[in-house]
């Protein structure tokens, strides 16, 4: 008689063997063995130091959306804190390896990079360490989650919550529609593409401040659509916190 658990364990070990064979653990920048990002290459990543409007790029206080952009794009988000630029070679490789080669361990590395960014931003720390703040990752649709086997934004958010002792909710913001990818769409198309895609299934948010976690922001349409849903459920303010901004949009 077959032992189902032994078969499962064999399949997992075989999967891990081929993954290690195809993607040996080495620094994605300098190929140093046994780490996806060595300390030397981590120091090469250029962190964002300016506080700017995430839409138009004008310098302002605490990376808030400026009043003209909030009106122009009908924005609910207060602003977005962006740690790096997606065009940074090392950050780009880390994110793509996490998302498209399914190397889940890289989420810990990206979370650590995000923590280093936060620790140098007093204005962010005041908000994120408040007892009234909850961090929530941008969800994946169940179909994509089954394909990838994990949600990269959720993995980063969990690491962030664990290491900084933050309140986190990973269950109640859900993606109810498997819309097409935003990658090839223009700004207005992106806004239309995410309408009615997300839902909140939890209790009233009782004027909580929400920090939405994602890996990459391009137009901000996804973050803002989630913010609208949370605002409808009585969140007080909603901020975005992302690894990188893609400026090729």
Same domain, 84 and 169: yes
DSSP 237: E
Same domain, 8 and 131: no
Is there a single domain that holds both residue 205 and residue 100?
A: yes
pLDDT in tens, 93-145: 999 999 998 999 999 999 999 999 999 899 999 999 999 999 999 999 999 99
- pLDDT tens digit sequence for 36-65: 999 999 999 998 888 999 999 999 989 999
H helices present in 23-78, as ranges: 39-42, 67-73
User: For residue 10, is pLDDT > 60?
Assistant: no
Please tell me whether residues 166 and 225 are part of one structural domain: yes
CA distances from 189 to 35, 79, 89, 219 (A): 39, 21, 28, 10
| Structural domain containing residue 22 | 1-44
Note whether 174 and 194 are same-domain residues.
yes
Residues 188-208 have pLDDT tens digits of 888 888 999 999 999 999 999
How many domains would you assign to the chain?
2
pLDDT band at 184 (very low <50, low <70, confident <90, very high): confident
**Is residue 222 located within the same domain as residue 144?**
yes
b or e along 199-219 (b: 16 or more beta carbons within 10 Å of the residue's beta carbon)? ebeeeebeebbbbbbbbbbbb
């Amino acid at each position: 008689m077959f032992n189902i658990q032994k078969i499962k364990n064999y399949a997992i070990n075989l999967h891990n063997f081929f993954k290690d064979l195809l993607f040996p653990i080495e620094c994605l920048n300098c190929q140093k063995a046994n780490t996806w990002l060595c300390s030397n290459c981590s120091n090469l990543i250029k962190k964002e130091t300016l506080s700017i409007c995430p839409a138009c790029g004008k310098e302002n206080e605490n990376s808030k959306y400026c009043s003209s952009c909030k009106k122009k794009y009908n924005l609910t988000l207060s602003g977005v804190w962006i740690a790096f630029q997606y065009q940074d070679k090392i950050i780009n490789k880390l994110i793509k390896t996490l998302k498209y080669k399914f190397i889940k361990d890289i989420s810990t590395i990206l979370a650590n990079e995000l923590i280093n960014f936060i620790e140098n931003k007093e204005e962010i720390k005041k908000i994120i360490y408040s007892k009234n703040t909850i961090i929530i990752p941008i969800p994946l649709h169940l179909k994509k989650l089954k394909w990838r086997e994990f949600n990269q934004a959720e993995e980063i958010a969990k690491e962030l919550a664990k290491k900084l002792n933050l309140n986190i909710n990973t269950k109640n913001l859900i993606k109810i529609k498997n819309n097409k990818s935003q990658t090839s769409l223009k700004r207005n198309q992106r806004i239309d593409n995410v309408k009615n895609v997300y839902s909140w299934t939890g209790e009233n948010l009782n004027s909580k401040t929400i920090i939405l976690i994602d890996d990459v922001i391009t137009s901000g349409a996804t973050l803002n659509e989630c913010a609208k849903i949370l605002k409808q459920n009585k969140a007080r303010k909603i901020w975005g916190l992302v690894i990188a901004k893609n400026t090729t949009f």
